[in-house]
A and B are shown apart, each in its own frame.
Chain A
Amino acid sequence: MAATADETEETTDAPGPAPRRRRPGRIATAVSVFGELLITAGVLLGLFVAYSLWWTNVIADRKADQKADKVREHWARQKDAGPGALDTGDGIGFLHVPAMRNGEVLVEKGTGTDVLNDGVAGYYTKPVKATLPTSGKDGNFTLAAHRDGHGAKFHNIDKLEKGDPIVFETRDEWYVYKVYSILPETSKYNVEVLSPVPAGSGRKRPGHYITLTTCTPVYTSRHRYVVWGELVRTEKVDGERTPPAELR
């Protein structure tokens, strides 16, 4: 006890060492600033991961829910007015993929980031224009959505297997597709997969096809994952909007 008291007295009394301990040398300062910068960089990267994989989903899901409500309201209001012009402003319908277990995905026009970042799936307008199922023509209904972040609507695309249903819901019709081919990895330049008769899917004749594209592997954009389906049947939407058997 006494010894420690003496020691503290000594250090406080001594004019030399005390200020030196409080003011570290120039090299020590530089090292500590460098260390703090490294810690800051690490925290920044961590925050960016949190932003990409969590926050963008929060924002996008909120936005998508609002838009979906608007489309549903719009449909409800139009019902009495009879069949009208197709409204592409807010979204043309909903995609239901039971295998992805993410409920309904609003489908909008375009595949730009401004569209897809709202947590929706977009149909292609370029480089190959999608053929909408509502047009009734042969062609390919090509869609894209995010794999991670911004709603991550196609995150579980790898859970889809051959024979799984993909249902597209519009105001008046359920379009039931069945997956017939999957391309787990392709180049992002492979625009042939969007052709009216999709190249590489195994089909040679014109028909009603649907194509889902997103990036793969997860958390990267190195390649593209493609799933093809073809129309099996359509069902008229009834008064209660009873979903087709595939969704029950």
Chain B
Amino acid sequence: MYGWIWRHLPGNAWVKALISLVLILAVVYVLFQYVFPWAEPLLPFNDVTVDNQ
């Protein structure tokens, strides 16, 4: 999977490494900005109030 991505990136090893880094950062950004905030309320870790629901 990752090998396949690596083989399909253009340029030499340095360019590939740089593109990979950018891709990783982009994925982390999307996760922190959109995916995790969406997933968090679905998980039972952060209910702090007492209520009758």
In the complex, chain B residues 5-30 whose Cβ is within 8 Å of any chain A Cβ: 28
Chain A neighbourhood of B50, CB < 8 A: 127, 186-191, 193-194, 213, 224, 226
Pairwise interchain contact B46-A221, C-beta atoms closer than 8 A: yes
Give every chain B residue within 8 A of A170 (Cβ-Cβ). none
A11 an interface residue at 8 Å Cβ cutoff?
no
CB of B25, distance to nearest CB on chain A (Å): 12
Q: Tell me whether A221 and B47 are in contact (CB under 8 A).
A: yes
What count of chain A residues pass the 8 Å CB interface test?
40
Q: What residues of chain B have their CB less than 8 Å away from a CB belonging to chain A?
A: 1-3, 28, 31-32, 36, 39-41, 44-52
Other 13 A-B pairs with CB < 8 A, given A52-B40, A220-B45, A221-B46: A32-B3, A36-B2, A47-B28, A48-B39, A127-B51, A144-B49, A188-B47, A188-B49, A189-B50, A191-B50, A194-B50, A224-B48, A224-B49
Contact status B52-A189, CB under 8 Å? yes
- Contact residues in B for A194 (Cβ distance below 8 Å): 50
| Docked pose: A84 CA to B14 CA in angstroms | 64
A113 to B37, CA, bound (A): 11
Q: Are B45 and A221 in contact (CB under 8 A)?
A: yes
Nearest CB of chain A from residue B42's CB, rounded to whole Å:
12
A33 interface contact, C-beta 8 A: yes
Q: Is the CB of A124 within 8 A of B45?
A: no
Q: Are A191 and B52 in contact (CB under 8 A)?
A: yes
* Cα distance A147–B45 in the bound complex, in angstroms: 10
Contacts of A149 in B (CB 8 A): 45-46
What's the least CB distance linking A151 to chain B, in Å? 11
B47 touches A48 (CB 8 A): no
Tell yes or no: A131 within 8 A of B by CB: no
Interface positions, chain A 165-191, Cβ under 8 Å from B, are 186-191
A47:B31 contact, CB within 8 angstroms = yes
The one of A33, A190, A191, A193 that contacts B1, using a Cβ cutoff of 8 Å = A33
**Do the beta carbons of A36 and B1 come within 8 Å of each other?**
yes
Contact with A113, one of B28, B32, B39, B41 (Cβ below 8 angstroms): B41
A113-B36 contact in complex given A33-B1, A36-B2, A188-B51, C-beta closer than 8 Å: no
- Is residue A55 within 8 Å, beta carbon to beta carbon, of the partner chain? yes
The answer to whether A219 touches B51, judged by C-beta atoms less than 8 angstroms apart, is no
Q: Which 5 A-B pairs have the closest CB atoms?
A: A221-B47, A51-B36, A144-B49, A36-B1, A111-B49
A225–B28 Cα gap in the complex (Å)? Answer: 34
